[in-house]
Every structure is written in C-alpha cells, then in structure tokens.
Amino acid sequence: MANIGFIGLGNMGGPMAANLIKAGHRVTGFDPAPAAVERFAAAGGIKAAQAADVAAGAEVVVTMLPSGRQVREVYLGPAGVIAAAAPSTLLIDSSTIDVDCARAVAAAAETAGLAMLDAPVSGGVGGATAATLTFMVGGLEAAFARAEPILQAMGKTIVHAGGAGTGQAAKICNNMILGISMIAVSEAFVLAEKLGLDAGKLFDISSKSSGQCWSLTSYCPVPGPVPTSPANRDYAAGFAAAMMLKDLKLAQDAAASAGAATPLGASAAQLYALYCASGEGGRDFSGIVRFLRGR
C-alpha cells in the first residue's frame, strides 16, 4: 500500500480519494475549501495545510483541480508540488485541462527528474463514487505501469493513450463527439415534434437504425424512452452544460493550435455558450434540447 497525496477534494476528487483510502492506501489531502477537507477527513484521510505538505513524503501525488490555471499554480513555482516532491514521486493529474498546459507541466516535472502522467477521467461523480471511472492516460510507459494499480482503486477502465498530453487529447476529442451528437439528437427530436412524429416512435426507430448513438440510447434528451436520463428529472445534472462548454472550448483551442478543421465542434461550442448564457449552465448538457425547441 502506498503513501498517496491528493490535492483537490471536490465533487470528483473527494470520492476518488475516499476510494484510495478504502483500498488501504494512506492518503494525505489538501483543498482550500474547508467543507471538502472535512468530508475527506471523515472518510479517513489525513489533512495537510498546503499542497507542498501533501507532496513531501508522498510516493504518488494525484490532483483533481478545476482547470489549467490551478494545475499550474499547484505544480509549478517555489511552493509547488514539483519543488516539494522527492525524486521518485509519481505525479498524476486527473483534471480536465488543455493539452498545452498538460505538456508544459509534464515537461517541468521531467526537468526536475519526476515522472508525470495526465490522466483525465470520464464517468462523472457517479463513476468517481462507484470507482468505475475510465482513465485516459498520457505519459511514459514505465510511469503508466506504476500508476495502473493506483488508478484501478478509482476506476474500471484504464487506457494508456500515448505520450504526455494524449490523455487530455482523448478526453477532449471524446467530449467533442458527445457535445456534437447530443445537439444532433436534440435537433432530430425537435424536428420530429414539429412534423407530428411521436418522440417514443422516433426513439424506437432510430435506436435500431443508423442514427443510433450513446446520446440517443443511453442519455436520451427527451423524457420517457430512457428512464435514467436527466430529461426525466428536469435536466438536473448529470454533466453540467457549463462543463460541456469548458471541454468544447478546450477542443477548439487545441484544434486552433494543431491546425485541425472542426467546424461542427465550433458550432457546438457556440450553441452551448448561448445555452449557458441563458442561465442554464448548471443544468444537464442534454437540456440543450429545450433551448433548441425555444429558438
């Protein structure tokens, strides 16, 4: 069992750290939000006063932070994790951040002689709680081999995507598919309504036809056909529209810097920006169907 440091004990990090504790690891954690720290301590975690204290003495440090800004803040600089960690420490960042930032922080770690992986997740708070997350991991093979047993305590599917930054690349490409496909399915339901076609009938037909996709059959944006989808609970998130917008913007930034054409990704980002600006950013991203219906 390992000495693990965990930084960022929020909606995702809290249950992920709790699962490491359940697996028998000794986990020291830090978060500036007192409520998050108290929940972590109640689950058996050891409180630290700052990020550097978490890094000192840890064999593995895991971070789960809101965005690239906090990731830079926590890892870089004189009081950061990289400066405080012992040379053999393995660093794992599971936040969803931009590819360039992930690569820059991994390069700073490498310069300091530390192995670092970007390991963003899919599966939401439910997956974090049930330890069924999917981890998409970028970094060296040897670091991945060290990380795998640790990640297995928090997830079910652990995939090595390639070198530094490819975990983040996988995450934003996947979520760009999801954002676009949710809009496509929603537009089809709105059009069906206007054409007098019953939503249940469209579901029955398209779920067995070439329009079949996850946004339709697992997360249907209209109430009824998929009882577990957020549409059946007034679009309570789930996966908030503001989070989807964040990921679509990351995909657009990456596409611009890599010179990739993503016209549908750009349109999806614009539509989600309008949907969030209408005050619905905290609702589930599948609620975009209501926004399209009202246009």
Active site residues: 171
Residue of 11, 209, 218, 278 that binds ligand NAD (CB under 6 A):
11
| CB nearer to ligand NAD: pick between 122 and 206 | 122
- Binding mask 35-64 toward ligand NAD (x if CB under 6 A, else -) reads -x--------------x------------x
209 to 24, 200, 203: CA distances (angstroms): 47, 14, 10
Residue of 4, 5, 6, 8 that binds ligand NAD (CB under 6 A):
8
- Binding mask 175-214 toward ligand NAD (x if CB under 6 A, else -) reads ----------------------------------------
Given the rule CB under 6 A, which of 2-10, 219-227, 271-279, 282-290 is the region that contacts ligand NAD? Answer: 2-10
Q: Is 243 in the site for ligand NAD (CB under 6 A)?
A: yes
Q: Rounded to an integer, what distance in angstroms lies between the CA atom of residue 50 and that of residue 279?
A: 35
Among candidates 122, 103, 105, 100, which has minimal Cα distance to 61? 105
Query: In this structure, how many other beta carbons lie within 10 angstroms of the beta carbon of residue 102?
Result: 29
What are the tokens at 223?
Answer: 């109430």
- Binding mask 121-150 toward ligand NAD (x if CB under 6 A, else -) reads x--xx-------------------------
Question: Is the C-alpha dihedral spanning 152, 153, 156, 162 positive or negative?
Answer: negative
* Count of residues in contact with ligand NAD, rule CB under 6 A: 26
What are the tokens at 161?
Answer: 């995507």
| CB nearer to ligand NAD: pick between 55 and 192 | 55
Cβ burial, residue 269 (10 Å; 0-12/13-18/19+): buried
- Binding mask 89-108 toward ligand NAD (x if CB under 6 A, else -) reads ------xx------------
Query: To the nearest 10°, the Cα dihedral for 235, 236, 241, 247?
Result: -120
Going by C-beta distance under 8 Å and a sequence separation of 6 or more, which residues neighbour residue 52? 79, 80, 81, 83, 84
Q: Rounded to an integer, what distance in angstroms lies between the CA atom of residue 75 and that of residue 93?
A: 10
Q: Is 13 in the site for ligand NAD (CB under 6 A)?
A: yes
Positions that interact with ligand NAD (CB under 6 A): 7-13, 30-33, 36, 51, 64-66, 70, 73-74, 95-96, 121, 124-125, 239, 243
